[in-house]
Amino acid sequence: MKIIIISVVLCIVSFTASYTDVPIIGILSQETYSVQHLFPNEKYDSFIAASYVKLLESAGARVVPILIGQEKDYYKYIVQNTNGILFPGGATWFNQSDGFADAGQILYDLALERNINGDYYPIWGICLGMELLAQVAVQGKELRAHCLSKKESLPLEFRPDFNTSKTFRQAPRRIIKILGTLNVTYNYHQYCVTEKNFTSFGLDQDWRIVSTNKDVYGLEFISVFESKRYPFYGIQFHPEKNQYEFKPSLKIPHSKEAVEMSQYFANFFVEETRRNNHSFIDWETEKNALIYNYPTHYTGIKNSSYEQLYMFK
Ligand SMILES: *[C@@H]1O[C@H](CO)[C@@H](O)[C@H](O)[C@H]1NC(C)=O
Ligand SMILES: *[C@@H]1O[C@H](CO)[C@@H](O)[C@H](O)[C@H]1NC(C)=O
Ligand SMILES: *[C@@H]1O[C@H](CO)[C@@H](O)[C@H](O)[C@H]1NC(C)=O
Ligand SMILES: *[C@@H]1O[C@H](CO)[C@@H](O)[C@H](O)[C@H]1NC(C)=O
Ligand SMILES: *[C@@H]1O[C@H](CO)[C@@H](O)[C@H](O)[C@H]1NC(C)=O
Ligand SMILES: *[C@@H]1O[C@H](CO)[C@@H](O)[C@H](O)[C@H]1NC(C)=O
């Protein structure tokens, strides 16, 4: 009897044990509208702000850039060989064919299919990337409202049941206190997702709202949401900026508490990506895919809001 029980336990453990200590995360690049002027002598197709790369690296992950405008097989390869995806913030439209939004839809559909089939493949959306996550979750329908929250640092307004959310159920009390009382979450967005559209577009079926905030006109927007079933998470504010962006006019909080809460989110998401064992076929292939193959450009010196960028042709 004992032996049977032990073997049943072992079975369950080995079924759920796929895990890696060395996660590699894909970051989706985006069109260069907001940064092309920084490079008068070069024409680039897409970029990634280095702050997102550093945020993930700070929690033990490495990064592979994901280009826009590629064939579906390319995105399939990315999902097969990485441990999760980040949709970053920035500034681009969702209506450009073969752009940020189309790539996001393909990646989301691939990730969803994997999770439905028992894999554990996380996606994290930050700011514009959170808006993208909400949009691709409703098959690409535009559901955002115009709203205005620029250079605004706010404490989260938690939903009463926030502490049962995946995002926060293991958060240290100190982090919850920081998030709930200090002006540390840095907002810089002109669109947002409201509870009204969250419900009317049917996101409330599979997703839950974890916290909200108000824009300068008092419009309430969703600041943290997560999928109920799958490891998909969205936050409207910018934890990467607390640690890695410094342009003074942006008024980004850099206090010890702001940095600690930023590190909480990085650690939370990267730990999620350790929960599958996808990997590149060998070390050489892995090395050739990493973002280390590209140089960073010091754009802070050109008065950009981004200290450093990765640029792709
Ligand atoms: C990943 O984990 C599964 C089951 O947990 C195992 O069968 C498979 O061999 C592992 N793959 C790699 C590349 O480690
Ligand atoms: C995308 O939307 C923006 C804002 O509504 C608009 O200015 C732009 O012309 C649109 N682009 C395309 C390709 O439809
Ligand atoms: C709902 O989404 C539409 C776009 O489909 C947008 O025009 C509208 O402002 C949004 N309303 C709210 C309350 O979020
Ligand atoms: C969640 O917070 C409420 C009070 O805000 C508290 O009563 C409850 O015990 C907490 N639950 C957990 C799981 O921490
Ligand atoms: C947070 O910001 C609001 C307005 O932006 C301000 O009224 C409030 O005093 C700030 N709180 C702290 C703790 O700095
Ligand atoms: C740098 O950018 C800020 C705001 O984005 C602007 O006010 C300032 O004039 C710019 N400085 C230079 C030297 O271009």
CA distance 54 to 56: 5
Relative to the alpha carbon of 180, which ligand is closest?
Answer: 5
Q: Is the pLDDT of residue 22 over 80?
A: yes
pLDDT at 16: 55
Nearest CA to ligand 6 atom 10: 303
How many angstroms separate the CA atoms of 146 and 161, rounded? 27
Give nearest CA residue, ligand 2 atom 13.
Answer: 96
Question: In terms of C-beta distances under 8 Å and separation of at least 24 residues, what long-range contacts does 202-205 make, across chains too?
Answer: 202/138, 203/134, 203/137, 203/138, 203/143
Confidence of residue 17 (pLDDT cuts 50, 70, 90): low
pLDDT tops 50 at residue 280: yes
- For the cut 80, the answer to whether the pLDDT of residue 6 exceeds it is no
pLDDT at 8 over 70: no
CA 80-110-93 angle, to 5 degrees, is 115
Task: Note if 238 is an active site residue.
Answer: yes
Domain positions in the chain: 18-312
Mean pLDDT, to the nearest integer, of 304-313? 98
CA of 303 to the centre of ligand 6 (A): 6
183 Cβ closer than 6 Å to some ligand 5 atom:
yes
**Which pLDDT tens digit goes with each residue over 50-60?**
999 999 999 99
pTM: 0.93
* Contact assessment for residue 77 and residue 306, using Cβ atoms and an 8 Å cutoff: no
Please state, rounded to an integer, the average pLDDT across all residues of the chain.
95
150-201 tens-digit pLDDT: 999 999 999 999 999 999 999 999 999 999 999 999 999 999 999 999 999 9
Q: Which ligand is the nearest neighbour of the Cα of 184?
A: 5
User: Residue 16 is encoded by which pair of tokens?
Assistant: 């759920």
Q: Which one of the listed residues 189, 238, 278, 297 is annotated catalytic?
A: 238
Work out the average pLDDT over 93-115. 97
- Domain 18-312: top CATH class: alpha beta
Taking the C-alpha atoms of residue 124 and residue 210, their distance in angstroms, rounded to an integer, is: 15
Evaluate: CB of 255 within 6 angstroms of ligand 5.
Answer: no
Q: Which atom of ligand 6 is nearest to the CA of 249?
A: 4
